[in-house]
Amino acid sequence: MNYILTSIGSMLLSLCALTASFAQKDIANPLPSSIVYVDALGDFPNPQNGVITLNSAKVYIISGSVDIGSNSINLNGAGLRGLDPGKDRILSAAKGAVLRSQDVDVYLEKVCVIPLSAVTTAYDFEDNTGTKALNLLAGNSVVEAPRVASGGVGRFSGFNSMFITTNFWRCRDGLKVTGTTGKFCSAYNYITGISSGVGIEFLADFEANDIDMSNNYFVFSGSTAVKFHEKAKVDQARMNGNLFRGPAVLISGFDSHTPGWEMRQNGAGLPDTKPYAFLYMNENTAVTKLISPNLFTKVAGETKTMKADGFIATANRVTYTGKRTLNARIYVNAGGKTPEANSDLSVAVYKNGLLQIAPNSSIALGAKGEGFQLTLETVAEINQGDYLEVFIKNNINSTPILVKDLQLRISE
């Protein structure tokens, strides 16, 4: 029994010694040298002329509410994050943006910014190199203090890529996006409180390869949800699954059929992108002069446009303006009277004036002046700039033909 007690005592002494050894190591190295916890202004580097410049080699972790007075923060490539996006906040009454950066990567996570004056915005991030990335991921809020109307979210400019996902903005004005960028992505953001601005606004000097806006929620009365300046440019863009509650204007400067834009399953008031064209003519008096038998000639006459979404429609010509390849369904109906006895007529659709799209439709008639009606349904793959026209021919002679009525419909 004494042996057992002695053994247990030795084990306890060894455990205590091991614990003390670990404790000494923790005291010697309490935190990795790259991490700085911030719960007061004094934990930041000293302000210089109202600007706190972070150490680019550090990651600053905000803990609780940190009031930096009228100072701003130059991120300078440093990391900035919180642990609880509802409690870890930076408050400032700076003139201009609270958080700023230029020509460096930006990474924020779970940090709330509270602008405390009408001339204070949350962000001003700029990249003139076109090589940097901006990431606002998960819980980066911009929230106005009670009875304080701030300058809003702020401005992003340049950057090779901008990813803004799962954030909450409740402020008078939203985000302004400028400069040349590769990709702009906004997804799962909740934007509310906009009263004298725009939720997301692409300014005149904005130019991008791609825009991807998906599953954002715009909830405010009046104002505009998304605005695209008439001089802004984008190669291809899509809006999918966004919802709107209250904005007076859902989108401005573009629509579901603006070239390059694709829209699917957004909320009420914003139709899907569905290319569709319908042109026609009735009581046409322009005679189609055939070149020779068995040779198709474009039907002559001025057409009227019933609808042209994703197309430009002119006289018996429909030009596709969309940027994605379209598998088009085509319907033609042509009617008139035969020019000669024993006429044998055919109608076809041509792409770009050169290529006949198979099949064609034909009809043989006995008497001169007999009424005819030719219908045709077909499909074709078309790309931006391709145009479709209705052609007709007489398989027996080249007597001119009067097509009095014509319909051409193209849909997806």
Picking from 347, 361, 359, 351, the residue whose alpha carbon sits closest to that of residue 388 is: 351
Given this model, what pLDDT does residue 20 score? 41
Instruction: Tell me which of 192-201, 227-236, 286-295 is least confident.
Output: 286-295
Given this model, what pLDDT does residue 21 score? 41
Strands 276-281 and 304-309: antiparallel
Indicate yes or no: pTM above 0.95. no
Instruction: Tell me which of 17-21, 172-176, 355-359 is least confident.
Output: 17-21
Instruction: Tell me which of 25-29, 89-93, 398-402 is least confident.
Output: 25-29
DSSP state of 229: -
* pLDDT mean over 49-62: 95
pLDDT tens column, 119-140 = 999 999 999 999 999 999 889 9
- What are the structure tokens assigned to 15, written together? 């455990």
pLDDT tens column, 78-91 = 999 999 988 999 99
Q: Are 98 and 69 in contact (CB under 8 A)?
A: no
* pLDDT mean over 192-209: 95
Q: Are 349 and 330 in contact (CB under 8 A)?
A: yes
Report the distance separating Cα 9 and Cα 127, nearest Å. Answer: 65
- What are the structure tokens assigned to 175, written together? 């985000």
Mean pLDDT of the chain: 90
Q: Is the dihedral of CA 223, 226, 230, 232 positive or negative?
A: positive
Given this model, what pLDDT does residue 6 score? 43
Q: Are 72 and 96 in contact (CB under 8 A)?
A: yes
- Buried residues in 223-249 as b, exposed as e (16+ CB within 10 A): bbbbbbbeebebeebbbbbbebeebee
Report the distance separating Cα 303 and Cα 107, nearest Å. Answer: 56
Given this model, what pLDDT does residue 11 score? 41
Q: Are 45 and 20 in contact (CB under 8 A)?
A: no
Separation in Å, CA 379 to CA 264, 310, 322, 357 = 23, 17, 17, 8
Given this model, what pLDDT does residue 27 score? 40
* pLDDT mean over 259-264: 90
Given this model, what pLDDT does residue 22 score? 36
* Three-class secondary structure of residue 260 per DSSP: coil
Which residues are registered as beta bridge partners of 167? Answer: none
DSSP state of 55: P
- Which residues, other chains included, contact 114 with Cβ-Cβ below 8 Å and sequence gap of 6+? 89, 90, 91, 92, 142, 143, 144, 145
- Which residues, other chains included, contact 1 with Cβ-Cβ below 8 Å and sequence gap of 6+? none
- What are the structure tokens assigned to 395, written together? 């398989």
**What strands lie across the sheet with 133-137, from one edge to the other?**
35-38, 59-62, 79-82, 106-109, 133-137, 161-165, 180-187, 207-214, 233-240, 261-264
- What are the structure tokens assigned to 343, written together? 């006429």
Residue 182 confidence (pLDDT) above 90: yes
Given this model, what pLDDT does residue 360 score? 87
* pLDDT mean over 231-249: 94
Given this model, what pLDDT does residue 32 score? 62
* pLDDT mean over 303-326: 92
The DSSP element (H or E) to which 405 belongs, if any, is strand 402-411
Which residues are registered as beta bridge partners of 113? Answer: 90, 142
Given this model, what pLDDT does residue 366 score? 73
Is the preceding peptide bond at 359 cis, omega within 30 degrees of 0? yes
Given this model, what pLDDT does residue 17 score? 44
Given this model, what pLDDT does residue 7 score? 45
